[in-house]
Amino acid sequence: MKTSHLRTQLRFRPLIIAAGIVLASIASAQTIGGNGFNRVNPTNEIITSKTHLIVSFKNSASQTFRKSVVQRYGLQINESRSNEYFVRLELSNQHINAGLTANAFVRELSNNPAVNFAELDVQITPDFTPNDPRYAQQWHLNNTGQTGGVPDADIDAPEAWDKFAGVQETVVAVCDDGVDIDHEDLAPAMWQNVNEIPNNGIDDDTNGFVDDIFGWDTASNDNNPRPVGGASHGTHVAGITAGAHNNGKGISGVGPTVKIMAMRHYAGQGSWMSDLAKAIDYAWQNGADVITVSYNTDGWNQNLLQAIQRAGAADVVYLNSAGNNNQQNPPRMAMRDQTDNLIFVASTDHNDNRSSFSNWGSKIEVGAPGSSIMSTLPGNAYGNQSGTSMATPLAAGVVAVIRGKFPSMTAREALDHLIATSDEVPSLTSTIPGGKRVNLSNALGAPVGPTAFKSMTVIMGTLTGGNLGSIADSDDTRVTINSAGVSGRGEYAVVEFALDSPRSNLDINSMKLEIESASNLTGATQFVTAYNTVTGKWDTLSSTRLGTIDGKLTVNVSKLTLAQYVDATTQEVKVRLQAYMPVRRRGVAPVSFTYSIDEVTPQIN
């Protein structure tokens, strides 16, 4: 059909059928039962609406003008599924019988100068959850190897709980299929709208929602955000984030200061991304500090993106699951470039490996435990579930604690702190930038800046070029040292650096050195050593053969000895870089060589 013909249809057909059009009541969405999440859209197919569309009008367009535009086409605004930022427009049966499609109206309305955007709504589905074996304990909080995994492949929760003094209460909006707010392990952790009088049928706080005590249900447009028909996903998610502590029941969530705002946007198949967008808007408008979403957003549209951006403008963090398709760089990742309050979370297992099902990629910046996670289920029950759906609320809980500990941090600064204080896990470096897996205990440590050099001293050899500033940046200036001979042993070039540690010996979490260096001759070996303030000796951290072209070396210092390298009085760390060429066979002395160091980047957290 040609465009001109289509526009003729759009222009005149609605005028004929518009009079007397009354939309049939919208059928309630079917709710999945039991563990239906294992069966919902396992291929992550993107499904768009055929019976409605989403339109955002410009602020300059009056309400009267907006209604005239809609009525012109015989469409109707679904008030209960709209808000001040967008409207959901419903096609009538007459439109559909006449062969008019939602996509045709999108194309037509997109040309209207009063419209910001018109687009198809996208069906929202949970990230497909694989069936993994269950474990009886919360290894993700404190991994002792109880499930056969690697000890300490966890978020160090018990270590963190001793540091909670002064952490303020924060609110996480769980946007999901509902939360069992009456659960024995969740009731104490529920956010409550103190400005609303329960069950009086009045919008006491004039926020546009009547009797919204615990949150809101945007899927059914009512004040009951509890799960329906056996749905359990949101209840499990909520327990991971904020299950009650020290109440003698069930499990523990991430932080005792975290409260849950219950947002039900998903009511089974037939749920839409616009319902999630409306839930996001409610969350940031009503006091959420963090929003956690464990749903497939690969089909994201402008309406969802702008809702996340509005949350960002309100200084609210948004976390989304990376997805469970074992896929690199899933489409949802593109949103990361368009808003800075967003982070995607991958899933890790009890061996600190990426979970076999988890998506990964260059814009998926952290991982968190997500395989066989024990948490709450409706009806005061408990059980294990797996997925990035579980990893995301775990990371959300950590971010919420960060915001409670450091309330002056912006949303982006809180996410940067989450990343900076995550453990660097070697097995994750190929799939998550920096191999980052969240760590609650580290996150409670004070923010730190870059580690500063204090001094440089040549211990053996002769300095022939460069100074301390030469190795502190990535340009081509470098420190060069001509080696010195030791009779019967070989040639040595040794330089010592003193670093000003941003953390004390009692508070240090990690130390890493990145070194670019080379030798003018083959055969030299480089040793990286650190001064042990307890033993009084120099410990070898790494040894490697030097090349004649700059090679980059990364040295991660063992947690077992970290504290011993920080001087308790001066808070100084001493590191020596040594290049060595040994005496050859039959006692032949090596010739002098040049040791060049282009860059040294220390990171102490």
Cα 231 to Cα 228, 240, 253, 275, 433: the distances in Å are 6, 16, 20, 17, 34
User: Which of these is catalytic: 52, 233, 236, 417?
Assistant: 233
CA–CA gap between residue 321 and residue 333 (Å, rounded):
10
How far is CA 288 from its chain centroid? Answer: 16
Tokens 């694989």 correspond to 130
How many other C-beta atoms can be found within 10 angstroms of the C-beta atom of residue 387? 30
Cα(156)–Cα(226) distance, integer angstroms: 31
Rounded to whole angstroms, the Cα distance separating 321 from 332 reads: 10
Catalytic status, residue 233: yes
Neighbour count for residue 584 (Cβ, 10 Å):
11
**Type of residue numbered 503:** R
Q: Would you tell me how many other CB atoms lie within 10 Å of the CB of residue 432? A: 26
- Cα 464 from chain centroid (whole Å): 47
User: How many Cβ atoms from other residues are within 10 Å of residue 166's Cβ?
Assistant: 9
**H or E element in which residue 96 lies:** helix 93-97
Q: Which long-range contacts (CB under 8 A, 24 or more apart) does 483-488 make?
A: 483/579, 483/581, 483/592, 483/593, 483/594, 483/595, 484/460, 484/592, 485/589, 485/590, 485/592, 487/589, 488/583, 488/587
**Residue 13 is inside which H or E element, if any?**
helix 3-17
DSSP string covering 365-402: -EEEE-SSEEEEETTTEEEEE-SHHHHHHHHHHHHHHH
* SS3 assignment for 435-491: HEECCHHHHCCCCCCCCEEEEEEEEECEEEECCHHHHCCCCCCCEEEECEEECCCEE
CA 238 to CA 258: how far, in whole Å?
Answer: 10
Identify the bridge partners of residue 600 per DSSP, sorted by sequence position.
515
- Contact between 492 and 595 under an 8 Å Cβ cutoff? The reply is no
Alpha helices in 252-374 (DSSP H): 273-285, 302-313
What are the structure tokens assigned to 428, written together? 């994750």
Residue 389 is a catalytic residue? yes
Catalytic residue among 355, 389, 441, 510: 389
C-alpha dihedral, 219 to 225 to 226 to 228, nearest 10°: -10
Question: Would you call 305 exposed, middle or buried from its count of C-beta atoms within 10 A (0-12, 13-18, 19+)?
Answer: middle
Q: What angle do CA 558, 346, 397 make, to 5 degrees?
A: 80
Cα–Cα dist 421/536, whole Å = 29
What are 313's two structure tokens?
Answer: 């403008």
Bridge pairing between strands 342-348 and 317-321: parallel
Catalytic residue among 154, 176, 177, 349: 176
Please list, in sequence order, all residues whose beta carbon lies within 8 angstroms of the beta carbon of residue 4, skipping any fewer than 6 positions away.
Answer: none
- The set of catalytic residues is 176, 233, 389
